Structure 1
């Protein structure tokens, strides 16, 4: 099916669904369901969950027996954060049944609400059917917490261990169950047992997550094993540029503090289960369910800052920038997560095209947290994205100045600063940074590609440059941009037949990139396939290239590449290495 056909089908689906609603013998047409239904579908597609929830609710009010509308209304109410109305819809879904996804979300919603209202027995009863259901892992994690809330601690721990041993959701499920078993043990003061459970969790989760590392360090500190706790936190910190939350915890523990466990009761434990799974779901096809989980997590634990940060991040992804800014602004300034919130807020402002305001916000963050690499890097990345390369290089300078001894994890900072230096005509410093990045991360394909391509553009180190880019292609054969770089390097070296092969492959990988299509056209011209070359140049024009690319393609189409190359050669910009006076440099990309 062509792209056009698929697009047409996507546009027709809401209309076809509306037609089905109108054909419903219950009289939906007379009640005017189609209008609010189509409005809900449109709002959902543009990411406006609140509008979608309101319109689905309106459609449901006009056709109360329609279980499909009930399910969609529930999912969108919950995802939008309207937990009270979602609970009412969940009760209706529980009474009448419906689609599996709707029934599942209804059960989880009712269980969370029961825990919130201090009715753990009711929550456990609702969740009992979820444990064995398809996609019922969240129910399997929450049910022991419901039992824990009744005071049956040993039974709750036994149930959680059964979830861990049963492998309901594979290795990830075992890790989460071990983690929650540790949280239960820590909550009752058995920190030794908690540490053992957290160790099992780390065996299944590699380096683990920030919350697992935090929980393990807290239990170690409460046992008086301060050096081990600090070591756990320092190992985590070696994986990131900076982490204010973990850095603060490390300082407090080193100074003798014994922080409280990260989960104190069953409601917080259930919130942890919902949040842990939502982090995976919100980035996949079950995004709405994931958003519902994290909303319930925040409902069960209103001070759950990580949940609020995840919600704000998802609002940015949905381009609901104003709501995201408000969510980030709600994070307390004295919270360990405050810097994450300020960086996220700047991303939301950037999404609103308020770039100067975002820059100002990040400069204020640097003033507030001058020793945090992430603050400097966030500003540098923002400036680089908007081609403010000299300012970006200065911001990267600030980040790199905070590094005592560069390690493998720091290679992106040198690579990114190298890009900004190259773009701001500071090649000597840029080359140093690219070499430093390769010293820290040997054979890194992005760095190999950028440095090798830059050398070819300058006519330097040609054999080494080609070898670098070939090595990058070996590692990323499906990366159209890197394959294009190899093809363009071969073109610049006068190896036109080989260039055609690789540039053709690059076009297959990135069919709508204007520069890659333009490059392919040039190579086709040089091997005598001139009609095909003109076709590729016209394709490139259809993909909205930059103005200077448009001008050059227009001249090629009117006068031919030979004439354009001769004109450029006269300006002293050789395009084919080793040839002078006949060809000229093309600076368009790669």
Structure 2
């Protein structure tokens, strides 16, 4: 786990994403042909997911075990938990099945089942870290904080276990009024550098809840110094500053984040509260919330590092301790999205409270997940309703526009982007360049070039030197033989700004190809293929360039590779034709533009 990944533990998962190329759609998993139903993570008492071997079919140890392994490999937590549970029922003394079922039940949100299994695990393996952690979380929920301390203090140790146990123990001690002992428990914790932000942040939270506000403010400032991009730290630091009377300093902290991530809903809400003079609550108002913050932070970090089951376990435990933690639902939904489980992500996002600053963000993600399920109409309807309720929500506008554009509904996408642009065109902000860029793409694809060019140039006027815009505009100009010197300069500059972006390097190579500068095209396209070896378009382009410089065998190799990489349906016949017959001797038929002088004087 890298230092950068662990610093990210305090950031909310990036919920709003766009891509240069079409949005990738993923079908929901239906492992083993069993229809899935989902348990709500809202509380420990939510009904367990009722799946597994279909009714009427025989249950066998080997069958359930293999089915569980398959579900686990498919990242289908619900079925994996159910099938391993069946296998454990068939062989209750099997230590491996007990441990595996325990982890999967927790990751699936079945905390009650997990608690029963934790008791069985600790009966034979007294220092089992995760089992003791689950029992400690339950003890905290039951206000048995002394037992929680005993449980986490006597588990197995490793870097992650040590950090988790110490922080949970500190919060359980604070719950008993032992503030000094709680702070000592954190202060004496030794470990790698990435421990520091956790230690400092939770020290500040405990000091704040204990009424030691000046010391808390100092530690929030220290945590902020470690990572000025950490949203959770920024929110807590700004609130602490405002409570201390430094309203200007609090707003300055928010301003700095605004420059990096404009209009984040949590920052917007925090600013509104500070400016209004509203009484500001502590970032953690009770020890259970503090312990949940530990588990949420670590779970989010582990999930980014690829440990999906353990991450889900930590996040589910965080929500067990604090069922109102909207950040936990967002983090868990983000994890389900990365696992390809859009249905589960939707159900989790629905748990975000209506009063949360993250509610609209969650609703946008729900719309995007409907699209991931190939339910375009539901996605469109959901996002359209959000836009109707607030046409100035440019995140919703962008999400719907990009979905429509990905489905090649360019005119509809144009209309959506235009609606968003209408709310900002009188006074566009730096970040609004994206709306003009996306609308420009939609208009270029519908052959409305003058309007598309105007949008691209407006995007660059709002935010100069945006490599995506320079790349698209420059390539489009080259493609039409227009303003070739300016166009090539734009693409070169885009490559300078994003030298590791295979798509932009491909554009430069293809621009050289279109200008008949085939040797230069080969050089750039070979670089592009190294950066994006999985892209059929780039491999196809390199094949064309190889053909033009006389490297015919290599050309056919690249075209065959492009064919095998599953290109778009409309491109496949063209690739097959080239594999069979090569390229024509007519340069313009092969994609080269007419000489610039015949177009517009260059």
TM-score by length of 2: 0.82
The answer to which of 273-282 and 498-507 deviates more is: 498-507
The answer to which of 427-436 and 445-454 deviates more is: 427-436
Which residue matches 1:343? 364
* 1:416 has 2:442 as partner: no
Which residue matches 1:430? 452
Aligned equivalents of 1:270, 1:359: Cα separation in 2: 39
Deviation of the 1:309 alpha carbon: 2.0
Which residue matches 1:45? 73
Which residue matches 1:5? none
* 1:140 has 2:157 as partner: no
- Which of the numbers 99, 103, 116 marks the counterpart of 1:71? 99
What are structure 2's unaligned runs of at least 5 residues?
1-58
* 1:274 has 2:302 as partner: no
Deviation of the 1:429 alpha carbon: 4.0
SS at 2:97 equivalent: helix
Which residue matches 2:494? 472
Which residue matches 1:224? 245
Residues 468-511 of structure 1: CA distance to partner in whole angstroms, max 9, x if unpaired? Answer: 33343344444332232222112112121222233233334333
* 1:199 has 2:221 as partner: yes
- Which of the numbers 156, 159, 165 marks the counterpart of 2:182? 156
- Which of the numbers 516, 520, 528 marks the counterpart of 2:538? 516
Which residue matches 1:299? 320
Quickly say closer, same or farther: Cα 1:221–1:342, change in 2 above 3 A: same
Aligned pairs (5 A) from 1:148-187: 148-163=174-189, 166=190, 168-170=191-193, 172-187=194-209
The answer to which of 483-492 and 243-252 deviates more is: 243-252
Which residue matches 2:121? 93
SS at 2:260 equivalent: coil
SS at 1:547 equivalent: coil
* 1:110 has 2:157 as partner: no
Aligned equivalents of 1:422, 1:130: Cα separation in 2: 61
* 1:532 has 2:554 as partner: yes
Aligned equivalents of 1:130, 1:234: Cα separation in 2: 43
Quickly say closer, same or farther: Cα 1:455–1:271, change in 2 above 3 A: same
Deviation of the 1:284 alpha carbon: 2.2
Aligned equivalents of 1:495, 1:425: Cα separation in 2: 27
Q: Contact (CA 8 Å) 2:64, 2:83: kept in 1 or not?
A: yes
Aligned equivalents of 1:472, 1:111: Cα separation in 2: 53
Aligned equivalents of 1:316, 1:271: Cα separation in 2: 22
Aligned equivalents of 2:374, 2:298: Cα separation in 1: 32
Aligned equivalents of 1:337, 1:505: Cα separation in 2: 41
What are structure 1's unaligned runs of at least 5 residues?
1-30, 582-590
Q: Contact (CA 8 Å) 1:131, 1:139: kept in 2 or not?
A: no
* 1:322 has 2:347 as partner: no
- Which of the numbers 382, 394, 399 marks the counterpart of 1:373? 394
The structure in which a higher percent of residues are helix is: 1
Residues 235-287 of structure 1: CA distance to partner in whole angstroms, max 9, x if unpaired? Answer: 43343343334323322332221122121111110000110111111122212
Which residue matches 1:55? 83
Aligned equivalents of 1:130, 1:389: Cα separation in 2: 58
Aligned equivalents of 2:421, 2:596: Cα separation in 1: 41
Deviation of the 1:297 alpha carbon: 0.3
Residues 132-180 of structure 1: CA distance to partner in whole angstroms, max 9, x if unpaired? Answer: 52322222221211111111112212333444xx4x241x421222211
* 1:127 has 2:152 as partner: yes
Aligned equivalents of 2:439, 2:195: Cα separation in 1: 40
Quickly say closer, same or farther: Cα 1:377–1:68, change in 2 above 3 A: same
Quickly say closer, same or farther: Cα 1:405–1:358, change in 2 above 3 A: same
Deviation of the 1:401 alpha carbon: 4.5
Which residue matches 2:592? 575
The answer to which of 308-317 and 36-45 deviates more is: 308-317
Quickly say closer, same or farther: Cα 1:62–1:106, change in 2 above 3 A: same
Aligned residues: 538
The answer to which of 525-534 and 274-283 deviates more is: 525-534
* 1:332 has 2:349 as partner: no
Quickly say closer, same or farther: Cα 1:306–1:553, change in 2 above 3 A: same
Aligned equivalents of 2:519, 2:303: Cα separation in 1: 46
Which residue matches 2:565? 543
Residues 498-535 of structure 1: CA distance to partner in whole angstroms, max 9, x if unpaired? Answer: 22233233334333422222212221221222233233
Deviation of the 1:107 alpha carbon: 2.7
The answer to which of 239-248 and 356-365 deviates more is: 239-248
Aligned equivalents of 1:427, 1:386: Cα separation in 2: 20
Q: Contact (CA 8 Å) 2:484, 2:596: kept in 1 or not?
A: no
Aligned equivalents of 1:117, 1:217: Cα separation in 2: 33
Deviation of the 1:580 alpha carbon: 11
Deviation of the 1:411 alpha carbon: 4.3
Quickly say closer, same or farther: Cα 1:176–1:441, change in 2 above 3 A: farther
Which residue matches 1:247? 268
Aligned equivalents of 1:232, 1:475: Cα separation in 2: 29
Deviation of the 1:202 alpha carbon: 0.4
Which residue matches 1:309? 330
Between 1 and 2, higher relative CO (CA 8 Å, sep ≥ 6) is seen in 2
Which residue matches 1:6? none
Deviation of the 1:558 alpha carbon: 4.6
Deviation of the 1:434 alpha carbon: 3.4
SS at 2:304 equivalent: coil
Quickly say closer, same or farther: Cα 1:543–1:401, change in 2 above 3 A: same
